[in-house]
Amino acid sequence: MKATAKAHTNIALIKYWGKRDDALILPTNSSLSLTLDGFYTTTTVDFQEDLLQDRFILDNQPVEGEAYRRVTEFLDLIRRIAGKENLYADVHSTNDVPTAAGFASSASGFAALAAAGTKAIGLELSDRELSRLTRQGSGSACRSIYGGFAEWEMGNNADGSDSYAVPIAPAEHWDIRVAAVVLSSTMKKVSSRSGMKRTVETSPFYSGWVDTIPNDLLEIKEAIHAKDFEKTGSIAEANCLKMHATTLAADPPFTYWHDTTMRVMQTVQEMRENGIPAYFTIDAGPNVKVLYLPENEENIKKTLRNIPGVSDVILSKSGSGISYL
């Protein structure tokens, strides 16, 4: 009863920003992401009859507290589906997601855990079923089941049965790349979770955000299918700015941006003015991710590394979905 799975993280081009149900992790809007080859988690789940509780080893260190609790509660879901509620597991995970890169390792982490855990316990789930299950561990993780571009359909049902990701285009469809721009100072005063919550509850702009997502999604899917980089990038960049704008109107207002974040954004816009197509997107933190095309890789890397306040630039291709090792 042992299985190993590998999952890549993903970067949202149309952001997940707001929950309609905290416990089931149901979003207020659909979202769309690109799975990234360069950042992944490998997890082995080993269910053993003689264990009295789960164990969770991350990067060779035993984990306790909040992170442990989230893992065991997620394994509880798997045990319940399998009808094996008293079977505990040894979980070993390795994160190849540089923490400082500002990617939530929870996306690749919960996708790998869901894949390895369900396989180890003997469940045979479709991708869609696996995505729906993964969503309950970490919302954005449900998109990491697939390679390339994936859309998390928000669904309408109160039980979350229609809220899962679907594949939009595989990694092979289009060689589009992402530079993770890591800042020297990555402090954030408001967590992603509480920032999202405060925005949903207090920002007068939140309904404007939700209302405009369906059109953003429609347009970006057209652009992705047509491999229209300018259109894909413009929509992603505008969607990111719109998401961050909602936080500026929250009560009290807040932002995840630093001065260096702004400098990276300015530099990307200047690159475009100089004929190099590049677009930024930013999650709930100060780091910036830059979308670019393979032919501009050297130029992009050099330009971004030279920005004062930037400590590292990590490049990635589009990645594949879940794999079993």
Q: Site residues (CB under 8 A) for its own copies?
A: 203-205, 207-209, 211-212, 234, 237-238, 241-242, 244-246, 248-249, 251-253, 255, 257-263, 266
CB 310 within 8 A of CB 304: yes
Choose between 159 and 251: whose C-beta lies nearer to its own copies: 251
Q: How far is the CB of 112 from its own copies (least distance, A)?
A: 35
Instruction: Name residue 11's beta-bridge partners.
Output: 34
In the complex, the smallest distance separating the C-beta of residue 202 from its own copies, rounded to whole angstroms, is: 11
Query: Minimum distance from CB of 253 to its own copies (Å)?
Result: 5
Measured from the CB of residue 205, what is the shortest distance to its own copies in angstroms?
Answer: 4
Residue with Cβ nearer its own copies (34 or 282): 282
Minimum CB distance to its own copies, residue 95 (Å): 30
Closest to its own copies by CB, 112 vs 288, is 288
Quote the CA–CA distance of 197 and 206 in Å, as a whole number: 11
Burial of 250 (0-12, 13-18, 19+ CB in 10 A): buried
Considering the complex, state which of residue 98 and residue 309 has its C-beta at the smaller distance from its own copies. Answer: 309
Nearest-approach distance from CB 242 to its own copies, in angstroms: 5
Under a CB-based contact definition with an 8 Å cutoff, are residues 113 and 142 in contact? no
Buried b (16+ CB within 10 A) or exposed e, 270-308: ebbeeebbbbbbbbbbbbbbbbbbeebeeebbebbeebe
- Minimum Å gap between C-beta 203 and its own copies is 8
Residue with smaller CB distance to its own copies, 226 or 241:
241
User: Is 142 or 288 the residue whose CB approaches its own copies more closely?
Assistant: 288
Cα(16)–Cα(69) distance, rounded to whole angstroms?
A: 24
Of 151 and 216, nearer to its own copies (C-beta) is: 216
